[in-house]
Amino acid sequence: MRNDASFALAEDIANGANDNLAIEIDGAAPFAEVERMAKGVDQIAIRFEKFGDGRGFSLASMLRERGFTGELKAVGDLLPDQVGLLRRAGFDQIASEVKPQSPRWKHGYFSHAYQPAAQGEEPAYRARTLAARQARVDELNQRYADASPDQIIAAAVREFRGRIATLSSFGTEAAVGLSILARVAPETPVLFLDTKQHFPQTLSYRDQLIEKLGLKNVVSLQPEADELVKEDDEARLFETDTSACCQLRKVRPMAKAMVAYDALITGRKRYHGGERTDLRPFEFDGERIKVNPLAALRPQEVTAIFRTLDLPQHPMAAMGYPSIGCWPCTAPADGAGTREGRWAGQDRTECGIFDPSLVERAARTRSYRLI
């Protein structure tokens, strides 16, 4: 059960509450106390009474994990041989009181690391995994360059057994991909981002499709209740900051869910334009693998599939909405089969759920939230 009395540090500094406040704490101090003292502080010096007393490394690591972005300084009895470890534990500065002039104070001996750390090298398993994913994607794209949507989905489900899901907005074109999935790999989870700001027509369309296609495994992803209260109590955040609103209602719930999956099936198509014009069937975004079985589909083919399979349309498609997201940021537009009308008048075409850096940052912040 998470208690979300969040760490107020960043806000205090932003409000100019404290100008360059620095404190020194003993390495033996209990973390709860350190946490309390660290509120609103710019710099924390952690004192090592003896270089063999490793508590300071944990204190630093925990402060960083829980969002402390100020300066961390290690002081006291330290050895040059500890530099690499101190750095990775999150210290920015080292001020040893033992032989500070020694020429042995050079930074870090090791060019790799096995563990995640506050700063410095990423853990070895990350580099290895990302390399493996890229290689896998290259190989899959070679094999399935000209494959049909059915073949691509079947291959993906085989390849990533148990660690693959699809994402659906239950929007204007959703039925196409979902109908193929229901036929080829019905056990695949269908993730739906229930932002709490959908058109009611989207929600009833969702229910209609679930029944018509016999979808058994639809998972509703929702924003955290306590975050909603804290960040968008009146459900009007979209009026001032649509990016923050997407973060709250889409990006973060997505990040949380994606922990269980290595691959995600999308409904993205090249003809959507923008960033999507060069979509390949398999894609490595630097973190995960995305499967785009409908990438090569053309608008006429989408229409044909609706007709042949007698798929219901989203009720708003006929009302002049080519693409449907949350109601505050979706407008009718010309250009059937495009993403016109999404964040109309803003310099955005994507909400960010497909941006790995946003998603990963959200995942890390979420997990390491200060309690």
Which strands, in side-by-side order, build the sheet including 164-167? Answer: 218-221, 190-193, 164-167, 263-265, 289-291, 282-284
Contact between 85 and 61 (Cβ < 8 Å): no
Q: What minimum distance in Å lies between the beta carbon of 93 and another protein?
A: 16
Q: Is residue 356 part of the contact set for another protein (CB under 8 A)? A: no
Which string of x and - marks every residue 180-219 that binds another protein (by CB under 8 A)?
----------------------------------------
Contact between 46 and 72 (Cβ < 8 Å): yes
Residue among 16 and 52 whose Cβ is closer to another protein? 52
Q: What minimum distance in Å lies between the beta carbon of 59 and another protein?
A: 8
How many other C-beta atoms are found inside a 10 Å radius of the C-beta of residue 216?
A: 12
As beta bridge partners, residue 123 has 113
> What is the β-pairing status of strands 263-265 and 164-167?
parallel
Q: Is residue 81 part of the contact set for another protein (CB under 8 A)? A: yes
* Chain length of the chain: 371
Q: Which of residues 117-176 bind another protein (CB under 8 A)?
A: 117, 123-129, 132-133, 163
Q: State both tokens at 369.
A: 């939230």
Q: What minimum distance in Å lies between the beta carbon of 201 and another protein?
A: 34
Q: What minimum distance in Å lies between the beta carbon of 33 and another protein?
A: 12
Among 7-15, 87-95, 221-229, 277-285, the segment contacting another protein (CB under 8 A): 87-95
Helices marked H in 195-326 — which ranges? 200-213, 225-231, 242-246, 252-258, 299-308
Is residue 329 part of the annotated active site? The answer reads no
Q: Is residue 291 part of the contact set for another protein (CB under 8 A)? A: no
CA distance 138 to 129: 14
DSSP 342: B
Q: Is residue 361 part of the contact set for another protein (CB under 8 A)? A: no
Q: What minimum distance in Å lies between the beta carbon of 81 and another protein?
A: 6
Q: Annotated active-site positions, please?
A: 351
Q: Which residues of this chain interact with another protein, rule CB under 8 A? A: 2, 30-31, 51-55, 57-59, 61-62, 65, 79, 81-82, 84-89, 102, 104, 109-117, 123-129, 132-133, 163, 256, 259, 262, 363-364, 367-369, 371
